[in-house]
Amino acid sequence: MQFEPRSAAPHFDVITIGAGFAGLHMLHTARSMGLSVRVYEAADDVGGVWYWNRYPGARCDVESLQYSYSFDNDLEQEWVWTERYAAQPEILRYIEHVAHRFDLRRDICFRSRVKQASYSESRQRWEVETESGDRATCRYLVMATGALSMPRLPDIPGMESFEGRIYHTGAWPHESVDFTGSRVGVIGTGSSGIQAIPQIARQAERLVVFQRTANYSVPAKNAPLEPEAERAFKAKYREYRALAREVGTVYEFSDKSAREVSDADRLREYERRWQRGGVNIVHAYNDLMRDKASNDTIAEFVRSKIREIVKDPETADSLTPKDHPLGTKRVCVDIGYYETFNRDNVALVDLKKTPITHVGPTGVQVGESWHELDALVCATGYDALTGALLAIDVRGRGGLQLRRKWADGPRTYLGLMTAGFPNLFVITGPGSPSVLVNVIVGIEHHVEWIAECIGWLRRHGHTTIEATRDAEDRWVQHVNAAAERTLYPMANSWFLGANIPGKPRVFMPYVAKIGVYRRECQEIADAGYVGFDIRPAQPGDSR
Ligand code: NA7
């Protein structure tokens, strides 16, 4: 059914859905091109995932000085980060500062969750409607809905019967949550669980961690950011940003294979990087994500660290990842995660040995064992990459539903557009490398590409751009082939949709260096948008 706009529905050049890092940058960029823009945002303020993820310990695993916008020199010089890895409140303050500094809020409709977006072929416009019935039309629709923004509660029998407090890390309450004197269960040991567990353990009377898959985690070695170090980094900001546009996040990269050095040298290098902290360790050698034997060396190094830190051998064994290569699920960065299991008030339940039977009103049954709980924290992740996009009823040409088109997995061209949906752009969506790199670098690239594309269409008197099926098919094959050359498909990860029962198993991100991807996108644009069907304006159509 096509949406029938009331004549009063206002028209914009661009409507953007989402006011996180992506939506704000899109708004600022489109506005500086002289375009009229409206942003719809479900929350009551800016921030996206950093607005919602307020769980204890929430922190970015990319260093603060890199996890920020690069588009404005003054902004990056004036903002002062206090820690090597910024915690959620500080990142949210930064986003709020950006919104204030560029006066962005005036074009954002908060508390406005978009329900439907339909393309009108006769008007060559998108018609957008929110849950509360607010309607508007636009020429270009930009989905800045986030790759990890659709929280998922686990499908465990009896969840609804639990009478205690229940939380999801990705939808944490704004008021402070106090676990003092409480018996708390945490389900999930991905990045969110691994960050929250040490914090909750310090407060709760008892903490039970329900682990389905043991994950690799490396110490953050977080520390206050020394003003001198910050000054030195900022003095070279342009160089670092230029490098980030090639590599995503700047680490100490190596041009050596893990196989070409001696065991002793390799261990020394892993130890040096472990002591330094962060995901830098994954870049110790250039083949760790491509060669299983090389990957085994770093995986075994981290396993040995777990055995060294965790005193109880059975707990250490359960915490040791054995079923996937390191890095094929996102490597977690922690502050005292493994050490937490040496505390007397913390217990690990290994769901690989015995799965959860059911949740009852006062606790969780696991086989023969009953765990009495006052609160349950679900750190169970997201319907990643496609969840937030498909939560909106998006309808393209001929009323084609995006949900239906992607029923067997997402299909995009360049990760930016999908055939049958003219002038619909996706930021950091499936088919792009964004979630595999510093996502802000991915966002900035997409916003620049979209802005350049819109500018080009307008200069050439074109009205619509749409990916062709052929180009899309070739891109999907290209993305699959890139993943097959790596170890990524060896893990049941959210990259593959494996965390959602019934979701098609398709490797969604594009495993390429962002610099390579950037050049692919640029060459296509420079050649006049090869693989896109471009149509001229209709008579009398001004925008
Ligand atoms: P993740 O990384 O998807 O982790 C979710 C965790 O929850 C993971 O350990 C899952 O185990 C576990 N899980 C999910 N469903 C269940 C059920 N039903 N029972 C038990 N355990 C379950 O989400 P995060 O929020 O930690 O991190 C998401 C991203 O945000 C992260 O990559 C960073 O980029 C920031 P599984 O591994 O599926 O067996």
The predicted-structure confidence for 508-518, as pLDDT tens digits, reads as follows 999 999 999 99
What distances in angstroms separate CA 119 from CA 112, 127, 393, 421, 472, one per listed residue? 20, 6, 11, 7, 19
The atom of ligand 1 lying closest to the CA of 378 is 7
Give the pairing type, strands 346-350 and 356-360.
unpaired
- How sure is the predictor about 434, in pLDDT bands with cuts at 50, 70 and 90? confident
d(CA 481, CA 194): 32
The phi, psi pair for 168, rounded to 5°, reads -115, 135
- C-alpha of residue 494 to centroid of ligand 1, in Å: 8
81-85, 427-431, 440-444, 492-496: range with lowest mean pLDDT: 492-496
The kind and range of the H/E element at 518 are helix 514-526
Strand intervals (E) in 26-107: 37-40
Please determine, for residue 126, whether its predicted confidence score (pLDDT) is greater than 80.
yes
Q: DSSP characters for 213-247? A: S---EEE----BPPHHHHHHHHHTHHHHHHHHHHH
Please determine, for residue 491, whether its predicted confidence score (pLDDT) is greater than 50.
yes
Structure tokens that stand for 476 in this block? 């999907």
Report whether residue 53 contacts ligand 1, using a CB cutoff of 6 Å: no
Q: Which of 517, 521, 510 is nearest to 482 (CA)?
A: 510
Sign of CA pseudo-dihedral 289, 295, 298, 300: positive
Segment 36-40 mean pLDDT: 98
Q: Which of 61, 56, 84 is nearest to 333 (CA)?
A: 61
Segment 212-231 mean pLDDT: 96
d(CA 27, CA 37): 7
Report whether residue 380 contacts ligand 1, using a CB cutoff of 6 Å: yes
What confidence score (pLDDT) does residue 539 get? Answer: 63
d(CA 504, CA 500): 9
Report whether residue 510 contacts ligand 1, using a CB cutoff of 6 Å: no
Please determine, for residue 521, whether its predicted confidence score (pLDDT) is greater than 90.
yes
Sign of CA pseudo-dihedral 332, 49, 253, 508: positive
Report whether residue 494 contacts ligand 1, using a CB cutoff of 6 Å: yes
Residue nearest ligand 1's atom 10 by CA: 188
Report whether residue 188 contacts ligand 1, using a CB cutoff of 6 Å: yes
What distances in angstroms separate CA 533 from CA 198, 251, 465, 521, one per listed residue? 52, 39, 6, 16
Report the mean per-residue pLDDT for the chain: 96
Please determine, for residue 116, whether its predicted confidence score (pLDDT) is greater than 60.
yes
What confidence score (pLDDT) does residue 537 get? Answer: 75
Distance linking the first and last C-alpha atoms of the chain: 25
* 223-237: pLDDT as tens digits: 999 999 999 999 999
- C-alpha of residue 25 to centroid of ligand 1, in Å: 28
Print burial letters for 232-265: b (CB count within 10 Å at least 16), e (below 16).
ebbeeeeebbebbbebbbbbeeeeeebeebeeee
What distances in angstroms separate CA 213 from CA 193, 209, 489, one per listed residue? 12, 12, 16
Q: How many residues does the chain have?
A: 543
Residue nearest ligand 1's atom 17 by CA: 154
- C-alpha of residue 260 to centroid of ligand 1, in Å: 35
Q: For residue 348, how many C-alpha atoms fall within 13 Å in the half-sphere facing its CB?
A: 30
Report whether residue 330 contacts ligand 1, using a CB cutoff of 6 Å: yes
DSSP letter assigned to residue 93: H
Please determine, for residue 241, whether its predicted confidence score (pLDDT) is greater than 80.
yes
What confidence score (pLDDT) does residue 1 get? Answer: 41
Q: Which of 210, 212, 186, 152 is nearest to 56 (CA)?
A: 186
* 323-357: pLDDT as tens digits: 999 999 999 999 999 999 999 999 999 999 999 99
Of 499, 500, 505, the one to substitute when testing ligand 1's pocket (max ligand atoms within 8 A of C-beta) is: 499
Residues near 363 by beta carbon (within 8 Å), at least 6 away in sequence: 185, 370, 371, 372, 373
* 264-310: pLDDT as tens digits: 999 999 999 999 999 999 999 999 999 999 999 999 999 999 999 99
The atom of ligand 1 lying closest to the CA of 381 is 23
Report whether residue 189 contacts ligand 1, using a CB cutoff of 6 Å: yes
Report whether residue 59 contacts ligand 1, using a CB cutoff of 6 Å: no
**Which segments of 140-236 does DSSP mark as H helices, in order?**
191-203, 227-235
d(CA 322, CA 345): 26
For the full predicted model, state whether its pTM sits above 0.85: yes
